[in-house]
């Protein structure tokens, strides 16, 4: 069975059937949007756990349903821990749902660039990791250069050098 860069530690039987993930998504989405901060963070971690323990072929059908809520949460003013967990879930989603995530590239580029420009170093780091992973989906590098060039921070310039 193929593995993606040590992402799959072990399999969970529920996540290895076609509709296994589907039964949890409404609960997680509701928790992510309407729960108290600790519940919202747990929901983001649960997205990560599902993505970690599910083969890509079982994720494909749900990529859009998973990406939308996570992107929304990352764009909101939420606690740092929740934002980091959502970014990490998006990273895994980009790894496992590459083809289906391409429709989000422009939105993700903007989202990850904003994260990279935050003052919190943890959010900066997940933003950087996500930007680098996003480049594997094939967005126009010119857009990234334009977005990061506007910031002209040392970190932004260093990332540009890394990308180029």
Provide the residue ranges of all domains of the chain, joining segments of one domain with +: 13-163
The answer to pTM > 0.75 is: yes
Gap between the Cα atoms of 164 and 160, Å rounded:
6
Average pLDDT over residues 147-159: 58
3 state DSSP class of 156:
helix
Gap between the Cα atoms of 127 and 112, Å rounded:
5
3 state DSSP class of 87:
helix
Longest pairwise C-alpha distance within the chain: 48
* Cα first-last separation, the chain: 34
Contacts of 142 (CB under 8 A, 6+ apart): none
Q: 13-163 maps to which CATH number?
A: 1.25.10.10
pLDDT recorded at residue 1: 36
Average pLDDT over the chain reads 81
φ/ψ of residue 8, rounded to 5: -95, 105
Kindly tell me if the per-residue pLDDT of 151 is higher than 70: no
- pLDDT per residue as tens digits for the range 2-61: 444 444 455 666 667 777 788 889 999 999 999 999 999 999 999 999 998 888 888 888
């Amino acid at each position: 069975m193929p593995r993606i860069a040590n992402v799959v530690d072990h399999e969970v039987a529920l996540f290895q059937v076609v509709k296994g993930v589907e039964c949890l998504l409404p609960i997680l989405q509701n928790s992510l949007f309407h729960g108290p901060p600790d519940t919202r963070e747990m929901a983001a971690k649960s997205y990560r756990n599902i993505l970690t323990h599910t083969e890509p072929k079982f994720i494909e059908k749900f990529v859009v349903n998973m990406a939308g809520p996570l992107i929304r949460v990352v764009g909101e003013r939420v606690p740092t821990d929740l934002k980091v967990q959502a970014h990490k879930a998006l990273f895994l989603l980009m790894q496992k749902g590459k083809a289906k995530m391409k429709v989000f590239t422009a939105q993700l580029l903007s989202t990850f660039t904003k994260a990279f420009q935050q003052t919190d170093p943890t959010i900066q780091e997940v933003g950087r990791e996500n930007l680098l992973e996003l480049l594997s989906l094939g967005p126009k590098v010119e857009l990234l250069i334009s977005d990061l060039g506007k910031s002209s921070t040392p970190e932004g310039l260093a990332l540009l050098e890394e990308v180029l």
